[in-house]
Structure 1
Amino acid sequence: MIITMSTSVRECLELQLLEMEMIFSMFPNKEDIAINGVNSLSIVRRYIEGTYEPLPSSIEFSVFVKTDDLKKAELHVYLPHNYPTKEPQLFVRSSALDKLQHNDLNKCLSTYISSLDRGDLCITNAIQWLTDNISSYVEKSKHCNGNEADTGKSPITFHRMWIYSHHIYRQELRKKILDCAKRLNLTGFCLMGKPGVICVEGDKEHCEEFWRDIRYPNWKHISCKHTESKDVSDSMEGLRLFQSFEELSFEAHGAYGLRNDYHMDLGQFFDYLRKHQSDHIFQILFGVEGKS
């Protein structure tokens, strides 16, 4: 198939499924690939076959590439509906890299992808590029961290983010929020329903990674309303207002099937905030003073 800018979405999705098959053959171990949405690929396939009418969600997944010291680098991939006529959105992260190495690595990967012919499938190329290059970034990170140890510990920034969304319903999204907070050692909560509110607290870089991950790539009607930061020399545990990350669900008004009428009891939510020394946030989130 010759790919042009006029190639249809259905033809692009066919190519995306073809490339997914190639990626599965590269990684026979199922643990090395994580698809966002258990049935997402089958829904795309049904759309192509004409048995599923709505335009399916874009394909989104992660591939885990091992470095020489067996640590894993995660390549997160988001494929727009018209990929490969449009560039994919890629982001690499690894516990073996610091913030500067992450930025450097992702810039180089983006430059590499941009150098390829637009219209060609390129995710397998990106995986191979990461496999070939990740170890050099890990070594650079070790060297930099070694120099840091000689001069003393770098300061830690404790951070808290208050995030507002028009609503949070989908089970898939709620699981992503919980899993992401747990992976990044963040505490706080996710208030599901309408409106939706998320609070995360912990290391600043981890909070920013959480914010980037959950809104990526196109979550509409979500905004970070307020942030709080404080530099600490040692532990940040005494600054946390929450002991874990939990999902909240209070009594609701209205029928669940009628989402425009399904509102969480904000009085109960205000009481929850007050118990966690955060009642002042209510007005920042909703523009009105809170009441029990």
Structure 2
Amino acid sequence: MTAMDRECLELQLLEMEMLFSMFPNKEDIVLDDKSSILRVQRYLEGVCEALPPRIEFSIFLKTEDSQIKSQVLVSLPHDYPKVDPELYVRSSAMDRQQQSMLNKSLASYMSSLERGELCITNASQWLQDNISSYTQSAKPEEEPLGGIQETTDTFHRMWIYSHHIYRQELRKKILDSAKRLNLTGFCLTGKPGVVCIEGMKGHCEEFWRDIRYPNWKHISCKHTESHQVSGDIDVLRLFDTFEELQFAAHGDYGLRNDYHMDLGQFFEYLKHHKSEHIFQILFGIESKS
């Protein structure tokens, strides 16, 4: 462990103490992994040699009049505060556009703070002071004459890899989130598990946050693709819908958790959707038809 690693982790523990003091009620701060702080402490004490997982948690905020409740999803990289933390705010009091505007403003505020300083407490206070203004903003603009509203945004595609995708409730959550956010792509279940989503960048990022919380081990975003668009985004889609894939499995499918998907069939599926280059990115090997 380097001196910088130790300093960062010690500062993270210090900030967690500050946050628990600011929010003394148990329901105000909820750790994704209840043992994460203890594991960091043991790592610093030299009891455990393996690098502990990130400290990830949710802060549940209320405005002074308690009219607006929000959830702040926080993930602390091991080298925070030398690097920025990952923050995302959501609230049932805001629509998707308002939520997007709030998170962009929060990111702008965070970038104004001095790098290397603890900032979660500052972000929490900023949100409590400013969140109410976003529930009354972001009214949709009137549609211009001609019936088509011209927008400029970022079309995004994410390729997500997991060691496996088995559980029915997880598969349902992936399908429901993709449908709700108007994303197309697929979910390859089994071992390995692969998810591709495409749509507006903000929707893709929201999907990624939704399925990662609570903490899902053995999952990573392997590759992303982005394009600036003005108008109809559908012309950039490689997939017409979002579907669940199950190719011929080797093993006792449904009886044991050791089955594997047929990657040859999966490569042909990617090839059909003009995405065969992704195979090597996902698995680190080349494939032939």
How high is the TM-score relative to the length of structure 1? Answer: 0.60
Query: For the Cα contact (< 8 Å) 1:33–1:62, is it kept in 2?
Result: yes
**How far, CA to CA, are the matches of 1:252 and 1:92 in structure 2?**
40
Counterpart residue type for residue 283 of structure 1:
E
Counterpart residue type for residue 241 of structure 2:
L
The percent of aligned pairs where both chains have the same amino acid is 43
C-alpha change, 1:224 and 1:106, in structure 2 (3 Å) is closer
Which structure's residues are more often helix, by fraction? 1
Q: Partner of 1:283: helix, strand, or coil?
A: coil
1:15 lines up with 2:11 in the alignment: yes
For residue 169 of structure 1, the aligned residue among 144, 163, 179 is 163
C-alpha deviation, 1:53, in angstroms: 0.9
Q: Give the gaps of 5 or more residues in structure 2.
A: 213-218, 252-258, 281-285
Q: Note the aligned Cα RMSD (angstroms).
A: 4.8
**How far, CA to CA, are the matches of 1:37 and 1:170 in structure 2?**
20
Counterpart residue type for residue 251 of structure 1:
A
1:52 lines up with 2:48 in the alignment: yes
Aligned to 1:91: 87
C-alpha change, 1:123 and 1:282, in structure 2 (3 Å) is closer
Aligned to 2:139: 145
Q: Give the gaps of 5 or more residues in structure 1.
A: 1-5, 234-238, 254-261
- 1:236-267 deviation digits (Å, cap 9, x = unpaired): xxx95236xx68686359xxxxxxxx964124
Instruction: Provide the aligned length of Structure 1 versus Structure 2.
Output: 251
**How far, CA to CA, are the matches of 1:80 and 1:42 in structure 2?**
16
C-alpha deviation, 1:123, in angstroms: 1.8
Matches within 5 A, 1:174-189: 182=176, 185-186=180-181, 188-189=185-186
Query: For the Cα contact (< 8 Å) 1:161–1:201, is it kept in 2?
Result: yes
Q: Partner of 1:145: helix, strand, or coil?
A: coil
Aligned to 1:236: none
Matches within 5 A, 1:173-252: 182=176, 185-186=180-181, 188-191=185-188, 196-201=193-198, 205-210=202-207, 222-224=222-224, 231=232, 241-242=241-242, 251=249
- 1:211-240 deviation digits (Å, cap 9, x = unpaired): 58889xxx877113688988289xxxxx95
- 1:63-93 deviation digits (Å, cap 9, x = unpaired): 2323568444443333233444x14324343
**How far, CA to CA, are the matches of 2:250 and 2:102 in structure 1?**
45
Query: For the Cα contact (< 8 Å) 1:164–1:285, is it kept in 2?
Result: no
Deviates more, 1:183-192 or 1:53-62: 183-192
**How far, CA to CA, are the matches of 1:34 and 1:69 in structure 2?**
19
Aligned to 2:104: 103
1:286 lines up with 2:282 in the alignment: no
Aligned to 1:33: 29
Query: For the Cα contact (< 8 Å) 2:29–2:58, is it kept in 1?
Result: yes
